[in-house]
Structure 1
Amino acid sequence: MDHDAIRAQFVDAHWATLVQRVDKAVMPIADELWSNEMLGWESYCEIKAADTNQKRMRVLHGVLHSGGNAVKSDFYSGLEKHASFLLRDLSTNPPTAVDPDAVAKSLDGYKMWIQREYEFVTEYNSLPGEHVLLSERYIQPLIIMRHREKKERTEELCFMGESFQQLISSENNAEKENNVLDALFSADSKGICPGAVILQGNSGKGKSVTAQKIMLDWASGSLSRENYDCVFHLKCKELNQISEEQSLVEILSINSNLTPDQILQILQMSPKRVLVLIDGFDELIVSFGDASNKLTANDVYKKAPPEASLTALLKGCLLPESFLLVTTRSTATDTLGGLLKKPQRFTEIIGFSEREVEEYFQKFFQDEELFRNAYESVKANETLFTACSSPVICWIICTVIRERFNDGTDVTSGLETTTSIYVDFVFTLLEHHCQGLSESVPTLLKSLGQLAERGMMERQVLFDEKSAKKTVSDPSGSPFLGKFLFKKRTRQETMFSFMHLSFQEFFTALYYISLDEKEFLSKLTERFHSHWQSYGVQYLDKNCPLKYGCPELHFLPVVQFLCGLCNKEVSDSLKETHNVSVPPSVQAQLEEWILFISSNRDYNLLPFVLLCLYELHEKDFVQKAVEAWQEMDMSWDSLNRTDCWALVYCLECCPKFRSLNLNFAAEELKMLQSVLCRTPELELTLQNLTDTHVTDLISALGEGKRLGELRLNSSGLSDESMKRILHALHKQKTVGGLQIAVKNITADTALILTDFIQNTEKWEEISLRVSAGCNDAESLCSSLRLFNTDGNLVLNVLRWCSSPQNVPSLSEIILQYPRSEMSSINLKNFLQAFHDINCLTEERAGFDQQVDSLLSHLSSVSGLNAINLSAPLLTEKWASRILFLIQSCKSLKGLSFNAGSWSSDDVTWLPGRLPEEGLRLLKESPKHPQCTLNIKGFRCGKSTDGCTHQTEQFEELDCNQRVTIIFSGENYTEEISPQIKLCDILG
């Protein structure tokens, strides 16, 4: 073989590497080839026009390939002159000819193999041959691209329900619109793309499934960017099985259908377009020494101890231009961070947000009705729904529900208890995520329980490394603990935590049942009587030490889990698998305490007792406990979904129940409908009611109820919705009161209300108010209230003051007249007249005419016995109007005038003034002897030259005083008050 042929063969053998590594030498070589007439002018210009050196080399390759050995030999000479270091490096490696067509064929076969192998997932409980399509399970989890501060971590561990969902959704997440791989390797704010990415996540968060999805996306061409010619997947569980020395290409071939030679050619052809995905770094049991330092960039075929090859790959000694993605539990992050090449990026799988949980359930069940029932059931339990951020919890719950469905059980009758799901979770992790434990399972659970209990007693969710190791021998090896690094001044601090505070509470309960009976009861008694301190001993019932106690607030969830561990199904499972269970005597103590709380009707503990009863899930005992209440008042705070679900279960165990007073969100109406329908006495406060909830409300009310109060706090109901609600109230035995927030109070509203009050006598109060955020200006008034009391009807109409510059001309009217005369006032016309007055100011033309029209309307109301007016100022004109009402309304016994108006919050009173002109006219004019006149407001206290004009700071002037002036016939009294007292005509 001649000299040119040898050189040409070398160029062909190393062409893939030359394309990647010639770099800046390409143009000097091309210049010499053109100068030596080895390149044509067009080819030279095409090379020069390419925007990267790699593209220039690819263009040059085409020229060399067509030019023969002479051109390749001249190119070799250019390498000797401009890239001698590269020639020396390549000369030490045996030349391997790269066949691009063969490489392409190998890659096509590899992709087809991946699509077959990665298309399915094997679930934890899969039998041999069972599998599920990955597309039917995978939901991209939330991934954050940074380390979290200690405060953020603590909040995430402690928050529950909606607060938790809002917290994790507000994190700085990877863009979900992109493929997860594109997001992980995207450029940062400085334009730097990482060469290596750490993807951290606790057990069951979905790291391995995400790795599988990345492989499948690449093989099926689903990546939005074509950055990778080849992706390799190394599973650390499999790497642990390697005992003899192997080269990197041999290691890469373990989880593929490619031979080491095929992989070597792929790496030679495009080393910069290769991604190596290392899954489960925390599971590696090899030691990482300094052997990697002996391997160089091109030693991919050189045999070495597996730990040396892996270390060299991680550090970038092997395949320095490739990309690395390493998944790991948090417990191994610090070790990995020290090994991995730069630039590197830290990312963390947070898990599922509310949206992802819903998507997971929808994919799992596929049947729309079953999906909706299952999702709503779990969403009703705050603890479980929070735990669903872990994909493995989602899988466990969905599996349990599907099993119930297959057994013919009604899914909507109630989910499994929270405790049973947590027990399943622990068993799943123990079986599938606990390889290589250094201690037995009972020892591990007990040590975790001791750590959990200490955290509960000391109110901490983060444990420093020293204190964690005092209890748990190997906290870094536990799948139930997360390890986190935080900055503390000039150093790093290592902390551990459970997945969430609820898991810490669960492990505390699990620890208690592992103790002997005496120690268990002793610890429980201490927690129930910690409030009593030393003198609590004298109140201790020796036969039932828990009876007169009450658990500390933060310890309540532990007691709830203990009740769940008493559940027969859960208890039998624990007894069978780990030989632990709640001693019968302790269970009897807990049940006795629940009966004691129930018999004493401690309403503060009622929601908690219901949760405990739900966890116990023993129908006969639940019925016995609930029957002790008969009346349940939980109106002091809005019930969450978990409280509602427990209430439904408990009342379904006790069909004969008399009275409920509840405060809850309108979204829970469907859930509570069955118990509300059959409870004869109700008092309800509903939050966030909308028109879409009205059908559910009417169904829940049913017929024949004694309805104490119905308070509908909403974003604004329409007239049609109000009409439907009032129609439903016709069917009740009694209605104590109705409060509705509406969009507007219109003429139609007035007609609907008139129809109701004239056709039913079963109500005491109806209150309408325009919801915050609705256009109050379009409404005839801001608030309308009707009271039915002692044979009288009281009508209260109010217009709020939206700002100090927009004070209503007549802010409030209160009328009282016999109920028998209700038809003597046309509510629609009355409200329209009130609205028209407030569309004008006193100075505007037509104002006096509008007011006179309204007052004339009042004088025609039969039996009108009391009037209350509120306006900004007692002017002479208002004084004349007051005198007119007193003289024209013969049945009037009381008239009040309050100078001022209500602000838009309906709470703050904005006081007004009592100028001397108006007061003088009232003093000098004759009045009805049987009518008492009350005037309230600010009055100037000067003996002469009293204030007669509006002053913005009049309340701050020393001369102005809050006064109440009473005219009884011709008698006159004046009282100076330190605080303004609003008139109450009903008092």
Structure 2
Amino acid sequence: MVTKTFLSCLGGWFISFVHYHLLNYNKYLGLTCLSRYICYSSVHQKRSEPEPSCVSMRSDASMGHPVHFNSRDTQTDLRFRSNLMKKFECLYEGTAQQGNPTLLNEIYTELYITESESGEISNEHEVRQIETQSRRAATEDTQIKCNDIFRPLPGQDKPIRTVLTKGVAGIGKTVSVQKFILDWAEEKENQDIQLIFPLPFREINLIKDKTLSLSDLLHVFFPETKEMEISKDKYKVLFIFDGLDECRLPLHFKKKETLRDANKKKSLEMLLTNLIVGNLLPSALIWITSRPAAADLVPSECVHRVTEVRGFNDPQKEEYFRKRISDQSLANTIITYLKLSRSLYIMCHIPVFCWISATVLGTRLSKVERGEIPKTLTQMYTHFLILQTTIKHEKDYEKNVTDEDMILKLGKLAFQQLVKGNVIFYEEDLRECGIDVTEASVYSGLCTQIFREEFGWYQGKVFCFVHLSVQEHLAALYVHLSCTYNNRNVFDTIPKQSLRSKFKD
């Protein structure tokens, strides 16, 4: 039953519009069909050329004397550490521009991370990967704490230079990186590392056409490094490349010109591959995170450890809801309700889905606003979409952007980028879908926690949906509405040969 609040905010027509189309779009299109593009499109195009004979970094010789950074004064080091702390101390569930951040240490729930045998690609839909993992016995895995990923386990005697951490979308890879950095900045963990340089691919993409030296790259993202100079034995550093699957650089690891000089200007692609392989700063630690679809872009011989973020196990799910929701009675009600639905409870292995569930069920199950309660994934996302569109009606926007227009444009963006294999978008991607970049914040405001806008170290705008499944949901709705109202099959715009090659399995 739709409450009076919803009727007054959204209008009966819009409720019918959203419920009818979102609850029935699976008749026309399965989410699995769309998301398989992620696994087979741009990721496989990057893999079309033969892999190189990558020099293994497993030898003890390659792990020799550090070649790091020499700071002119300790104040620079302290300022660097302080800036990292300010950037990573808060967790923004939804959008980075909301203004209501939560301190990470207050809400952080330890994730279940295991050591994996390899970084092989997974072609299975990510929801099914989660379901498979939920059936795997904990005794089959070697659990490892996030702060210990560079520490050898008992019986492992060789040093670890490069770690690849894989996990499905929203499972907690980026939050693990954030917690690792924050613990270091607060001098709690890994104090043998003197400097940490987080370089997420979504921000590197903004300067992908630049010609830079390693020093230039660090100056762009970390101005404090202008007061540092490279030396032989001063500092031990860690480079963190978060989101390999979001990378829009070719990153071919074929044999190319070897780069060893951190001050020599080269293409960004050559700079990164030489750094990851170990030609450039061979003693620097490297941490790469990726969704399984792109996990083998880095040749296995260049990786010393592969870990897998498995999200929350059952006790951690309950811990999250009790931390996230201050009303413990409501938290217990939500936990009990989710346990009644196998599909919803399995999806709660994904931290972002826990947040979506807390957002929706916190409203639906509260004493203030009882109403229809979602029982399936599709219904959960339908309620989430409706809930977020109310934000537009609660604020006085000057721009006249209707709910239908916003949903269709975001759906078009979701579909087109899913076909391209992108979960991160930039200003040119918005323009292609008729979204005025100057009004992007309005679109973000309409669906504050569906479509988010971020500003990184480089201070460039990066856009994304809050989770891959939300992108799939809107993309499927767009396909359905195009077919229903415009009698147009948007798949006709995709070359049939491409479709056959991607779905031949």
How many residues are aligned here?
Answer: 361
1:50-449 superposed matches below 5 A:
102-125=72-95, 127-147=97-117, 165-167=134-136, 169-175=138-144, 178=145, 180-187=146-153, 189-223=155-189, 225-242=190-207, 243-262=209-228, 264-265=229-230, 268-271=232-235, 273-288=236-251, 293-297=256-260, 299-337=261-299, 342-404=302-364, 408-410=368-370, 414=373, 418-423=377-382, 441=411
Structure 2 equivalent of residue 593 of structure 1: none
Q: Following the alignment from structure 2 to structure 1, what is the Cα–Cα distance between the partners of residues 195 and 93?
A: 28
Q: Secondary structure at the match of 1:210?
A: helix
CA 1:246–1:139 in 2, change beyond 3 Å: closer, same or farther? same
Shift of 1:345: 1.8
CA 1:183–1:305 in 2, change beyond 3 Å: closer, same or farther? closer
Q: Following the alignment from structure 1 to structure 2, what is the Cα–Cα distance between the partners of residues 384 and 321?
A: 44
Q: Is the 8 A contact 2:360 2:383 kept in 1?
A: no
Q: Deviations over 1:756-814 (max 9, x none)?
A: xxxxxxxxxxxxxxxxxxxxxxxxxxxxxxxxxxxxxxxxxxxxxxxxxxxxxxxxxxx
Amino acid at match of 1:270: K
Q: Following the alignment from structure 2 to structure 1, what is the Cα–Cα distance between the partners of residues 252 and 196?
A: 26
CA 1:292–1:399 in 2, change beyond 3 Å: closer, same or farther? farther
Q: Is the 8 A contact 1:232 1:276 kept in 2?
A: yes
Structure 1 equivalent of residue 52 of structure 2: none
Q: Secondary structure at the match of 2:310?
A: strand
Q: Is the 8 A contact 2:119 2:296 kept in 1?
A: no
Shift of 1:477: 4.5
Shift of 1:301: 2.2
Structural RMSD (CA): 4.7
Q: Is the 8 A contact 1:187 1:193 kept in 2?
A: no
Shift of 1:121: 2.0
Q: Following the alignment from structure 2 to structure 1, what is the Cα–Cα distance between the partners of residues 119 and 206?
A: 38
Q: Secondary structure at the match of 1:241?
A: helix
CA 1:304–1:506 in 2, change beyond 3 Å: closer, same or farther? closer
Q: Deviations over 1:293-316 (max 9, x none)?
A: 54543x112222222211111111
Q: Following the alignment from structure 1 to structure 2, what is the Cα–Cα distance between the partners of residues 375 and 120?
A: 25
Q: Is the 8 A contact 2:417 2:423 kept in 1?
A: no
CA 1:319–1:187 in 2, change beyond 3 Å: closer, same or farther? farther
Amino acid at match of 2:86: R
Q: Is the 8 A contact 2:168 2:291 kept in 1?
A: yes
CA 1:292–1:256 in 2, change beyond 3 Å: closer, same or farther? farther
Structure 1 equivalent of residue 500 of structure 2: none
Q: Following the alignment from structure 1 to structure 2, what is the Cα–Cα distance between the partners of residues 404 and 260?
A: 52
Q: Following the alignment from structure 1 to structure 2, what is the Cα–Cα distance between the partners of residues 447 and 343?
A: 30
Q: Following the alignment from structure 2 to structure 1, what is the Cα–Cα distance between the partners of residues 221 and 382?
A: 34
Shift of 1:172: 0.9
1:833-852 superposed matches below 5 A:
none
Amino acid at match of 1:310: L
Shift of 1:199: 0.8
Q: Is the 8 A contact 1:160 1:383 kept in 2?
A: no
Q: Is the 8 A contact 2:118 2:306 kept in 1?
A: no
Q: Is the 8 A contact 1:208 1:279 kept in 2?
A: yes
Shift of 1:144: 2.5
Q: Secondary structure at the match of 1:335?
A: coil
Q: Following the alignment from structure 1 to structure 2, what is the Cα–Cα distance between the partners of residues 231 and 149?
A: 24
Q: Which has the higher strand share?
A: 1
Q: Following the alignment from structure 2 to structure 1, what is the Cα–Cα distance between the partners of residues 251 and 226?
A: 24
Shift of 1:511: 9.8
Q: Following the alignment from structure 1 to structure 2, what is the Cα–Cα distance between the partners of residues 354 and 409?
A: 28
Q: Following the alignment from structure 2 to structure 1, what is the Cα–Cα distance between the partners of residues 308 and 362?
A: 31
Q: Following the alignment from structure 2 to structure 1, what is the Cα–Cα distance between the partners of residues 258 and 221?
A: 23
Structure 2 equivalent of residue 741 of structure 1: none
Q: Following the alignment from structure 2 to structure 1, what is the Cα–Cα distance between the partners of residues 370 and 321?
A: 17
Q: Is the 8 A contact 1:276 1:322 kept in 2?
A: yes
Q: Secondary structure at the match of 2:197?
A: strand
Shift of 1:149: 12
Amino acid at match of 2:279: C
TM-score normalized by structure 2?
A: 0.59
Q: Deviations over 1:410-463 (max 9, x none)?
A: 59x8556542224578999xxxxxxxxxx9955975999xxxxxxxxxxxxxxx
Q: Is the 8 A contact 1:404 1:410 kept in 2?
A: yes
Q: Secondary structure at the match of 2:283?
A: coil
**Percent identity over paired residues:** 25
Q: Following the alignment from structure 2 to structure 1, what is the Cα–Cα distance between the partners of residues 483 and 112?
A: 43
Gaps of 5+ in 1: 1-22, 25-52, 56-89, 91-95, 429-438, 449-472, 480-498, 518-574, 581-987
Shift of 1:387: 0.8
CA 1:376–1:408 in 2, change beyond 3 Å: closer, same or farther? same
Q: Following the alignment from structure 1 to structure 2, what is the Cα–Cα distance between the partners of residues 512 and 407?
A: 37
1:6-17 superposed matches below 5 A:
none
Q: Deviations over 1:538-591 (max 9, x none)?
A: xxxxxxxxxxxxxxxxxxxxxxxxxxxxxxxxxxxxx9xx999xxxxxxxxxxx
Shift of 1:136: 3.2
Q: Deviations over 1:7-38 (max 9, x none)?
A: xxxxxxxxxxxxxxxx99xxxxxxxxxxxxxx
Amino acid at match of 1:112: S
Q: Is the 8 A contact 1:233 1:276 kept in 2?
A: yes
1:749-898 superposed matches below 5 A:
none
CA 1:510–1:326 in 2, change beyond 3 Å: closer, same or farther? same
CA 1:414–1:420 in 2, change beyond 3 Å: closer, same or farther? closer
Amino acid at match of 1:305: S
1:908-927 superposed matches below 5 A:
none
CA 1:506–1:142 in 2, change beyond 3 Å: closer, same or farther? same
Structure 2 equivalent of residue 93 of structure 1: none
Amino acid at match of 1:181: N
Shift of 1:257: 4.9
Q: Is the 8 A contact 1:199 1:325 kept in 2?
A: yes
Gaps of 5+ in 2: 1-59, 388-408, 425-466, 491-505
Q: Following the alignment from structure 1 to structure 2, what is the Cα–Cα distance between the partners of residues 210 and 172?
A: 19
Amino acid at match of 1:202: V
Q: Following the alignment from structure 1 to structure 2, what is the Cα–Cα distance between the partners of residues 259 and 160?
A: 41
Q: Is the 8 A contact 2:243 2:290 kept in 1?
A: yes
Q: Which has the higher contact order (CA 8 A, sep 6+)?
A: 2
Q: Is the 8 A contact 2:205 2:248 kept in 1?
A: yes
